[in-house]
Structure 1
Amino acid sequence: MKKHALLSTFGLSLMISTLTAQAAALSSEHSAFGQLPDGTAVEKYTLRNSHGVQASIITYGATLQSLLVPDKAGKVDDIVLGFDDVQGYQNNGTVYFGATIGRFGNRLAGGKFSLDGKTYQVPQNDKTNALHGGDKGFDKRLWKAEETKTADSVGVKLTYVSPDGEMGFPGRLQTEVTYSLNDKNELKIDYRATTDKPTVLNLTNHSYFNLAGVGSGDVLKQVATLHASHYTPVNDTLIPTGELPAVAGTPVDFLKPTAFGKHIKDDHQQLKYAEPKQGGFDFNWVLDSKGDVKKLAAEVSDPQSGRTLQLFTTEPGVQLYTGNFLDGSIHGKGGKVYPHWG
């Protein structure tokens, strides 16, 4: 059977600036994280570095379940939204906390795409569109995992084989997602996939970051910089229009450090499409780095905690989403409430 390597490797690297702390050397371990309704075990893999940073990944959805990071005073907080058990992820599947998204992240208009002259119809799970691979995408699959280790990092490689025709997508697809953590406070996510026939693929991670700590309130005072001179505007169903206007002079200009709350309520059609009642961000910026992983793509900082997150990626764009659909009804880790824009 001939296989086609869709991607040699692509991914992102998150660099977290914190107070330097003394801790044990790089280490990893795995433990139980509950069971699915059919009794299948879900596992958690925890990666630690010597600066007090700790990332936990679960095999359900190849999900980043927690990311513990010290603040400027040494206080450790979890900075990614999620749940304490697998039932939380299953019962709140439409928020995609920390999940690996596939086969196709974001929306397909009408749930359709054309490939080699053939039109494919996939499930429409976001009104008339397909979102994040359908109602049972990669985020709701159980992945196989194995620990990895190099001279300067610890990690876990997760693998999922999607059969030909799953959720309407052509081709048997084997996907590998590798999370690794090093002592530079870099959390790397690398993706690799192979298929036996042409298909479409758009993998990503759907973590929600709150650098002040989960459940601490909204992120409106946190400051973002996006090294992106253009963006992709969307229509009222959040499908890109095909235009690539400049960000200059608009509320989506983050070329200079700007608090999320500065323009989020501006009277601008794109912000209303993202969140009709109060405004929000939920679209793609075209990175000036053009996929050069050595160039800084984006940065977010929290003045209160002193935490800073930097993003490096091999991809040409980045999606910024401000938790517009969170409304305070979801109770996450430790019973904490996840508020709007939180």
Structure 2
Amino acid sequence: MQASIKQTAFGHLPDGRAATLTTLTNPNGLVVKITDFGGIITEIHTPDRNGTLADITLGFDTVAPYVKDSPYFGALIGRYGNRLRGGRFTLDGQVVQLPTNNGPNHLHGGELGFHRVLWRAIPFQEGDSVGVTLIYRSPDGEQGYPGTLDVTVVYELTAADELVVAFDAVTDKATPVNLTQHAYFNLAGGGDILGHVLRIDADATTPIDHTLIPTGELAPVAGTAFDFRTPHAIGERIGNDDEQLRHAGGYDHNFVLNKPAPRATTLAARVHEPVSGRVLELFTEEPGVQFYSGNFLDGTLSGKGRTYGFRSGFCLEPQHFPDSPNQSTFPNTILRPGEEYATVSRYKFSVEK
């Protein structure tokens, strides 16, 4: 089987612009579908231990539901992934106020963040790898952010059954940047994700307050429901009497990844679904990963023939830490003119027999 790329129509935006869907297929038959609206991954088809393909990501059949208030299914997130307290930060002595769209806080770049813009999509093939390059210019002041930000995101599906996501950005003014990918996974292809077995290589988390903003601490995971240094089922301890779990209604926390050196690419997380045998491994340069257990899914959304019930998908979002512009001890997220924001993450798909 040869790798292939196909582009098809995916519906129209309210202003009449057309959205396009790019279908990537690798030589082993893995399929990834990506739309230029929001850079959204709409489908990922991988085999189980018997070779049967299933779609392992949550999403919709057309662009229309993504335009509405979907929970970031499969989307590219920016300018700032995760939350900023009060939508406010001080940059070079100036207070910057962003819109608040998550209670009192700013979340995932605002209502019209990168998940709701139309990117320019350029498909490519290099040997057995196929992909699409997405390009967007975020103008100065968009969603309140300073500076014009030029962003390039490359999705590449390789013959090694990896989906590589490479981010690159430059700016003409200092601005916070924290880009990520927000795919929801369900390796069983349906049902809830509580039986999925998860390992995260992190000795600590950044605990949150009741509005889901980090307190600034680094909390050791040892002896808590957040210790995934050895594999545990997602549902094993999700109901524990734990203040952090109560704040988020389950897991929705940034894990501080163990790194031998800054920017080192490491295996951040591994998920195994015992019934199908499917395995997902996340490798990333990023210092953190947000693990979210689908706590806000409630059965009101459906797509691709499935209803998305409570905890029917999980997210592993490689990132810098939430609220970093307001946390002096967290890794820096301010990009300045003359600097380049560049980071790569890889999602590797396999099966355990």
TM-score by length of 2: 0.86
The 5 A counterparts of 1:43-82 are 43-82=20-59
Q: Give the SS at the match of 1:229.
A: strand
Instruction: Find the counterpart in structure 1 of residue 170 from structure 2.
Output: 194
Q: Give the SS at the match of 1:52.
A: coil
Q: Percent identity?
A: 50
Q: Give the SS at the match of 1:139.
A: helix
Instruction: Find the counterpart in structure 1 of residue 68 from structure 2.
Output: 91
1:283 is aligned to 2:253: yes
Larger CA deviation: 149-158 vs 166-175: 149-158
**Structure 2 CA distance for aligned equivalents of residues 45 and 117 of structure 1:** 44
Structure 1 contact 293–312 (Cα < 8 Å) conserved: no
CA RMSD of aligned residues (A): 1.1
**Structure 2 CA distance for aligned equivalents of residues 291 and 330 of structure 1:** 39
- The one of 269, 280, 287 equivalent to 1:309 is 280
**Structure 2 CA distance for aligned equivalents of residues 292 and 96 of structure 1:** 26
Q: Give the SS at the match of 1:189.
A: strand
**Structure 1 CA distance for aligned equivalents of residues 133 and 262 of structure 2:** 23
The 5 A counterparts of 1:152-163 are 152-163=128-139
1:292, CA displacement in angstroms? Answer: 5.0
Instruction: Find the counterpart in structure 1 of residue 157 from structure 2.
Output: 181
1:237 is aligned to 2:216: no
Instruction: Find the counterpart in structure 2 of residue 267 from structure 1.
Output: 241
**Structure 2 CA distance for aligned equivalents of residues 330 and 90 of structure 1:** 13
Q: Structure 2: which 5+ residue stretches go unaligned?
A: 313-353
Q: Give the SS at the match of 1:297.
A: strand
Assess, with a 3 A threshold, how the Cα gap between structure 1 residues 305 and 291 changes in structure 2: closer, same or farther. Answer: farther
1:141 is aligned to 2:117: yes
Instruction: Find the counterpart in structure 2 of residue 224 from structure 1.
Output: 198
**Structure 1 CA distance for aligned equivalents of residues 262 and 200 of structure 2:** 14
**Structure 1 CA distance for aligned equivalents of residues 254 and 262 of structure 2:** 14
**Structure 2 CA distance for aligned equivalents of residues 226 and 30 of structure 1:** 36
**Structure 2 CA distance for aligned equivalents of residues 294 and 164 of structure 1:** 32
Instruction: Find the counterpart in structure 1 of residue 224 from structure 2.
Output: 250
**Structure 2 CA distance for aligned equivalents of residues 115 and 291 of structure 1:** 24
Structure 1 contact 291–313 (Cα < 8 Å) conserved: no
1:206 is aligned to 2:182: yes
Q: Give the SS at the match of 1:219.
A: coil
Structure 2 contact 59–74 (Cα < 8 Å) conserved: yes
Assess, with a 3 A threshold, how the Cα gap between structure 1 residues 237 and 257 changes in structure 2: closer, same or farther. Answer: same
Q: Give the SS at the match of 1:271.
A: helix
**Structure 1 CA distance for aligned equivalents of residues 68 and 264 of structure 2:** 36
**Structure 1 CA distance for aligned equivalents of residues 185 and 303 of structure 2:** 14
1:2-26 Cα shifts (integer Å, max 9, x gaps): xxxxxxxxxxxxxxxxxxxxxx221
Letter in 1 for 2:258: D
1:160, CA displacement in angstroms? Answer: 0.9
TM-score by length of 1: 0.89
1:282-329 Cα shifts (integer Å, max 9, x gaps): 010011135555421110010000100000001011000000000111
Q: Give the SS at the match of 1:66.
A: strand
Instruction: Find the counterpart in structure 1 of residue 88 from structure 2.
Output: 112
Instruction: Find the counterpart in structure 2 of residue 329 from structure 1.
Output: 300
Instruction: Find the counterpart in structure 1 of residue 271 from structure 2.
Output: 300
Q: Which runs of 4+ in 1 moved over 3 A?
A: 290-294
**Structure 2 CA distance for aligned equivalents of residues 333 and 303 of structure 1:** 24
**Structure 1 CA distance for aligned equivalents of residues 122 and 27 of structure 2:** 22
1:132 is aligned to 2:108: yes
Instruction: Find the counterpart in structure 1 of residue 140 from structure 2.
Output: 164
Q: Structure 1: which 5+ residue stretches go unaligned?
A: 1-23
**Structure 2 CA distance for aligned equivalents of residues 72 and 51 of structure 1:** 14
Structure 2 contact 2–128 (Cα < 8 Å) conserved: no
Instruction: Find the counterpart in structure 1 of residue 5 from structure 2.
Output: 28
**Structure 2 CA distance for aligned equivalents of residues 285 and 207 of structure 1:** 17
Assess, with a 3 A threshold, how the Cα gap between structure 1 residues 147 and 291 changes in structure 2: closer, same or farther. Answer: farther
Larger CA deviation: 257-266 vs 144-153: 144-153
Assess, with a 3 A threshold, how the Cα gap between structure 1 residues 220 and 291 changes in structure 2: closer, same or farther. Answer: farther
Instruction: Find the counterpart in structure 2 of residue 101 from structure 1.
Output: 77
